Structure 1
């Protein structure tokens, strides 16, 4: 039986998973029947994520040359591997989403230009600082989404369910690496890390907002006042949840390993999925029955609200 580390951020592996995204149909694009706004929110978030992930890979490769701690160097190598596989899968997903959402190529081109340009011109301090700021929110997304899986993902399209569970589990696993790397190199400039959290938040909010409301318009949600209010309300509520959970990141000595999402409220899915995958379980599609198997329970999600 394979074993996994007790703490999700300890000795995490690289998993070269490939999802059959080409099998999705347009009917699958709004993939959460229970909360369609959540599906569109993640679709919108995912538009720019793979381009940031390539920026992160570039950042960590440059930083790795200056890391003297062997364990941190191992973690930097592992995050490079994890994020490279994330980017490959999400670029394929974006290509499929472009079949339904006309402005997808425009959004992707803008983010490709932004992150490639930044990767070429940013100093090592800016590379590692912005990466640490951005990873503050990808880590939070991992914890928040896994905690709310019964509400938002229990009945999701199985491939998309599996894709996002994998992504969020790994975002939690490497959630401390970028901050550790920045502090290893520039620990005396803690103020700069906090500033980069705000810079990253602004970028994430702007890009997700633009793509979300484009997708909502295509889905016809903005043509009906009550449906439009529901759409806007979900975006604002989810944004509020992220902001509330981001507050600890502005404290001196902030460590994602001690964030309440990990210490107090770590999702059972986070623990069970890592064990199940390490034992050779197939995690490329997840429905209610598969999640029950992963969690070793009889039924999953029946009482989710």
Structure 2
């Protein structure tokens, strides 16, 4: 058992976890009974993300040939390992989603082609800048989602819950790496970094809204115009929440390690999950009783 650092971004490990998403029944894909709209939002967000993660691997693999700092090189190796496992698991989940939502396969193919094409043609500056911009929001989503566990996750399908808790914990752990690579290589160009943050958010929003609307239509959520508007509004509010949480990112002295969500509101779930997993705890399925054990509280 390796000791768990107090700050989640210190010496984070690669965890080669494989989640059994094939066990999930089609009707359970709106997997949060606590907040169905959240499960729809995160399903929609996740369709294109594995292909960004492959783009990230390409970008940082290329960038590390220009870097000598040993600590940063160690963190680059760790983020590449984590993101490779994320992509593998979420591509598998996309296959399950496609069985219920007819357009998911088409959306996934478009995302795969988009990121594969850009991974080949983008300059190193574009690769690193866009990766840092995108990682801004995967990192922030990690903190926001874990902070709202009781509102969005408490009563939900155990395998998908476990996948997203794992994913969000690791997104927080490696949330500074792409930023530090960009600063190491192009530190003086703050304007370009900020442009890439906005470009990434625009792409995330477009892909998520498109998928969320399709899934909501399949589930029959749009038959009632009023209720449909409320449920579509949830997607918009989540994206606005991401934007609001990103405001510190535009400061000249910004660093992910010092983002208010990390420094002043350390999340007890990510701390407890990391400790539980490092001691050999099974984190591949999480129900209410398992979460109680993770948090060190006896189940009711």
Tell me the TM-score normalized by structure 1.
Answer: 0.97
Aligned partner of residue 99 in structure 2, secondary structure? coil
Three-state SS of the structure 1 residue aligned to 2:161 is helix
What is the match of residue 73 of structure 1? 73
Is the 1:147–1:266 contact (alpha carbons within 8 Å) kept by the matching residues of 2?
Answer: no
1:52 equivalent in structure 2: 52
Cα RMSD over matched residues?
Answer: 1.0
* Structure 1 residue 233 displacement after superposition: 2.1
Please say if 1:288 is aligned against 2:288.
yes
Q: Which residue of 2 aligns with 1:190?
A: 190
Distance 1:74 1:239 in 2: 32
SS state at 1:30 partner: coil
CA distance in 1, matches of 2:141, 2:192: 22
> Could you tell me which residue of structure 2 aligns to residue 242 of structure 1?
242
- The answer to whether residue 132 in structure 2 is matched with residue 132 in structure 1 is yes
- In the alignment, what sits opposite 1:25? 25
Runs (4+) of structure 1 moved beyond 2 Å? none
Contact persistence 1:31–1:160 (CA under 8 A): yes
> Equivalents in 1 of 2:144, 2:227: separation in Å?
25
Separation of aligned partners in 1, 2:266 and 2:106: 37
- Structure 1 segment 193-208 matched on structure 2, within 5 A: 193-208=193-208
- SS across alignment from 1:41: helix
- Kindly state the Cα deviation for residue 265 of structure 1 after the two structures are TM-superposed: 1.2
Indicate whether 1:216 and 2:216 are aligned: yes
Offset of residue 29 of structure 1: 0.6
Q: Secondary structure at the match of 2:100?
A: coil
1:123 and 2:129 are equivalent in the alignment:
no
Distance 1:299 1:281 in 2: 16
CA contact (8 A) 1:159 1:285 kept: yes
Question: How far has the Cα of 1:105 moved from its partner?
Answer: 1.2
Structure 2: gaps of 5 or more residues: none
Look up the SS of the partner of 1:222 in the other structure: coil
| Structure 1 residues not aligned, in runs of 5+ | 301-305
The alpha-carbon deviation at position 229 of structure 1 amounts to 2.2
TM, length-normalised to structure 2: 0.98
